[in-house]
Amino acid sequence: MRPTNALILACLALAALAPAPARADQPTFSETAAAEAAANATYGPRTTPGQTIPVPDDVSPQLQRLIAAPFGNVADAPKTGDEWKAAVAAANRTAMVNLDRLKRELGVTVEPTVVAGVKAYLVTPMTIPEKNRNRLVVALHGGGYVFYPGEAGTGEGVMMAGFGGFRVLAVDYRMPPDFPFPAALDDAVAVWKEVVKTTKPENVALIGSSAGGGLALATILRLKDEGLPLPGALAAGTPWSDLSSAGDSYAANAWLDNVLVAYGGMLEGMARLYAGGESFRNPYLSPIYGDFSKFPPTILTTGTRDLFLSNTVRAHRALKRAGAVADLEVYEGESHAQFLAGPSVPESREAFADIAAFFDAHLGR
């Protein structure tokens, strides 16, 4: 980094700690309007000014706290397999602390198992309502196809079990750097084939968020291609439906989403590591480029600040265009996957209540 940039960055860091500048330092609305009208006076890309965007006051105090939080990891992606593994191990330690608390709060147990040679976890709520006795949820965890191997990846499954009263089978699919695409998809399909030997497919829901949502959509594409039975319902939370940089919110919500923050760096690094040289336009990698006909009823969840807002609404529209039953839920002010916050955040309970109600309406018994 050149000295000039270092100096500017140091100053910006100091500025972040300083009191808000005096009102006189801010341009008036009319001044900003005139400048932006001039900057956007011809057809072309949109030019937006630097902004300070308040924490919205129309969401729960618990969600306000999440929205106000500092940026998550915006580091450059690790460069070697060992660096990736170190980053994964560090993230898992934090995730396990959160998971232990979550299991206690929701009264959910998690037991390791193996299904069709694939590692997995049986996630069981304290009580299973009669209507859910013959139902099962298969969960594909998020984490950019790299993070949260092992029990650390069962958090969403634990919430589905605890909030919804479902038995959950959480799949610990293989991931890079050791096992790039299509290992994760192969594992999801192998588990599915085994599950439907003993459970009616129409009684099984498939869930996943972020990379897990993308993998869930890709799994349906693969099941269709192989002529296998499909699940009775699908919940795709802010699915990574396009690994490429296409999608308006990758740019429009950059630096606004405090979880993923921006497409470059870590996020792009995970896409490349998972794809292992395969084209991002392969529908098994970026399911938005696939055929959405004959999809099961699907509920999608995102937030207005989500870097994957476009990934989610594009998948929703693709499903509607193909004639599927598809519900879209967009939460005010939420960044990527913040609906997974857990029991302390009312909007998180609400999201899982919606998903459970959707499953109840569409799954067999």
Q: Which of residues 184-223 bind a second copy (CB under 8 A)?
A: none
The single residue among 35, 90, 97, 114 that binds a second copy, judged by CB under 8 A, is 35
Return the number of the residue (50 or 227) whose C-beta is nearest a second copy: 50
Integer Rg of the chain from CA: 21
Q: Enumerate residues 239-268 that contact a second copy by CB under 8 A.
A: 242, 246-249, 251-256, 258, 261-262, 264-265
* Binding segment toward a second copy, per CB under 8 A, in 69-77, 102-110, 116-124, 185-193: 69-77
Q: Enumerate residues 302-361 that contact a second copy by CB under 8 A.
A: 304-305, 309-310, 313-314, 316-317, 320-321, 327-333, 350, 354
User: Considering the complex, what minimum distance in angstroms separates the CB of residue 226 from a second copy?
Assistant: 28
User: Considering the complex, what minimum distance in angstroms separates the CB of residue 45 from a second copy?
Assistant: 5
CB 316 within 8 A of CB 255: no
User: Considering the complex, what minimum distance in angstroms separates the CB of residue 264 from a second copy?
Assistant: 4
Say which DSSP state 247 is in. S
Return the number of the residue (124 or 312) whose C-beta is nearest a second copy: 312
Q: How far apart are CA 128 and CA 133, in angstroms?
A: 6
Q: Is 204 helix (H, G, I), strand (E, B) or coil?
A: strand
Residue 98 interacting with a second copy (CB under 8 A): no
| Helices of type H across 114-210 | 155-164, 183-195
Residue 56 interacting with a second copy (CB under 8 A): yes
Q: Token pair 């940089």 is at which residue?
A: 245
User: Considering the complex, what minimum distance in angstroms separates the CB of residue 356 from a second copy?
Assistant: 13
Angle of CA points 148, 154, 156, to nearest 5°: 105
Q: How far from 251 is each of 158, 213, 224, 306, CA to CA, in Å?
A: 33, 21, 33, 11
Q: How far from 141 is each of 63, 149, 315, CA to CA, in Å?
A: 22, 9, 18
**In terms of DSSP bridges, do strands 109-115 and 118-124 run parallel, antiparallel, or are they unpaired?**
antiparallel
* Binding segment toward a second copy, per CB under 8 A, in 34-42, 104-112, 144-152, 277-285: 34-42
Residue 362 interacting with a second copy (CB under 8 A): no
The single residue among 44, 61, 117, 227 that binds a second copy, judged by CB under 8 A, is 44
* Binding segment toward a second copy, per CB under 8 A, in 24-32, 206-214, 221-229, 274-282: 24-32
User: Considering the complex, what minimum distance in angstroms separates the CB of residue 330 from a second copy?
Assistant: 4
User: Considering the complex, what minimum distance in angstroms separates the CB of residue 301 from a second copy?
Assistant: 11
Residue 24 interacting with a second copy (CB under 8 A): no
Q: Which pair of tokens denotes residue 358? A: 């959707």
**In terms of DSSP bridges, do strands 168-171 and 118-124 run parallel, antiparallel, or are they unpaired?**
antiparallel
Residue 61 interacting with a second copy (CB under 8 A): no
Q: Is 178 helix (H, G, I), strand (E, B) or coil?
A: coil
Q: How far apart are CA 159 and CA 260, in angstroms?
A: 21
Residue 4 interacting with a second copy (CB under 8 A): yes
Q: Is 270 helix (H, G, I), strand (E, B) or coil?
A: helix
Q: How far apart are CA 158 and CA 125, in angstroms?
A: 8
Q: Which pair of tokens denotes residue 185? A: 């998809």
Return the number of the residue (44 or 117) whose C-beta is nearest a second copy: 44
Q: Which pair of tokens denotes residue 53? A: 């965007």
Site string for a second copy, 269-308 (x = CB under 8 A): -----------------------------------xx---
Return the number of the residue (20 or 197) whose C-beta is nearest a second copy: 20
